[in-house]
Structure 1
Amino acid sequence: MLFNMKTLILHLLLGHIVGIFGGDVSETLFEIGPVEYEEPEKYSKNPYYFNFGSKHTICPTNATCLDGKFNFLCAPEPMKISKQCKRFLPIRNTHRSTLKMVHVHNGLRNKVARSYKVSNMNLVYWNIHLQNMAEQYLHLCRPYQDTCRIIGTDGYEVGQNWLYVRRHRAAILNEWEGRTVRHWVMDLFSTFHFRHAVNDSREQPDHVRFLVQVMMPRLEFIGCGAAIMFKGFFIVCYYFPPAKGKLSSQLTYLLPNETCVCPEERHLCSSLFTSLCGIDIHKSATIIELSGLNVFLAIFLILVCFVS
């Protein structure tokens, strides 16, 4: 009887652990199948969701890149590891990692909008198709700027930020989502004033262009991926719409008595990031962080149950 009771408690606690992550534990460890482009229901519920022209493919109709070359998204096996890869190990995106990447972007955008009184600054959302693009690019093992940057049947141009970290700086593997975005943004704030980012981003050096891409007010979607390759760690994010044209022509500012002003298509201000425009559809990253404590407590109870 005691054994059956312990078994029941074990099943309940394990069920609680899996429930904390909404099933992400099993998805992270065992979902290794082919690339699927069917729209998951959780993404289609987003009122701002965008599929770049098709529910089933991200390959452009003409299969070409921005530079005129063949688009890697149209390869027969887009997730096949390139022959030039060495010591390649992809880092699987989880619900927790995507939430952290979204919240770091929105947190920094919110800080800039509030500090510099910028209006019409969008809340950004995770896009599964941009994530797929990032993951397929990683499998090419090209730890430098992508010159293709075209996605979807209608051929949409996207922006890209990237970071390649040598092995001696491998500390970025810990909390890589936040460290990466802060590298693109915070490292520049001591020497670069946001209002000075007014030139055409295509003519700016990489580190300035990265900052402009993260901070473009009209930015809507991001999708990222990461992998260990060669002698370092490579992180890449794709953005839509891309940063192009003069930033000065796209910046609008609040009046002295205003705290948040939004465009007509995004008329609501976020309740979590109060200077950004959009509906809050993601759970707070704080909740995800606290779930680790829940897991610890659950494991502790399991041990107590079986030791006693």
Structure 2
Amino acid sequence: MARWQETAADLGYRAGWAAVRFAPERVARTLFDGAGELVGRRDGGPRQLRANLARVLGTTPEGVPDRLVAEAMRSYARYWREAFRLPTTDPARIVANTSFSPGGRELVADCVDSGRGVVFALPHSGNWDTCGVWLVAHYGRFATVAERLQPESLFDRFVEYRESLGFEVFPLTGGEQPPFDALAQRLRAGGMVCLLGDRDLSRHGVPVTFFGEPTRMPAGPAKLAIETGARLLAIHHSYTGPDTSLIRVAEVDVDDVAATTQRVASAFETGIATAPADWHMLQPLWEADWSDRRRESLS
């Protein structure tokens, strides 16, 4: 990316972020809901999103209802609206509007109080930042990893924003030390680590079966739990109303990396199946959708 392009992207993102943060709530909702609906309805919506939802529903892309694709894009737009506005949103409001599946809150408390450290693995569902804000409000700072973005100034702004919410953010690449080592240190000290676990960004993930088809998922959550003795929780977040949401919690048994990662994938399946419109997966995920270049990189 040329320097002028980096500058333009950073300025545009900064201006858009400020505009959404300080716009009246009703204006922001209308704008983002309308944009999501438009993208979801135009030409049947994003093709990859439709193909991914077909796996969740056990049907063909043509069998996915148009209304579900539109709802999924509205949900995705809602995520971005909330993300932009999160720094100016009262954390107490987020906590008050967030509920848990039966026993979920108690399970989180038990894991945190155990002193063994806790790894929270999440799919790209609902608003994962909401889960982080809730966690900070109840138990304090936790560590996570962020994919490095271009331009660099945008990545720095992203990290600054997350850290303002109480997150400790390590870059996936290019940091002072590998993120795995830093995260393991936090867990051995009894801390908490949150990781998005349904996209294999490293291209060296663990083979799993997900909604009946092969794919790969990151090994990080399982490896960290195995190496440090931390407890491993699969977390799923979904929307239940215009301002409310639900967190589902499931503890994952830990043994070897392959079996543990498959259990995480299965826990993700359970959550995603309850609220498919809130799973924000617009990229190719399953092996059947991979590009030739990606296949060659694994051979």
- Structure with more helix by fraction: 2
TM-score by length of 1: 0.26
User: Which fold has the larger relative contact order, with Cα–Cα distance below 8 Å and residues 6 or more apart in sequence?
Assistant: 1
TM-score scaled to structure 2, two decimals? Answer: 0.27
Larger Rg: 1
Bigger share in strand: 2
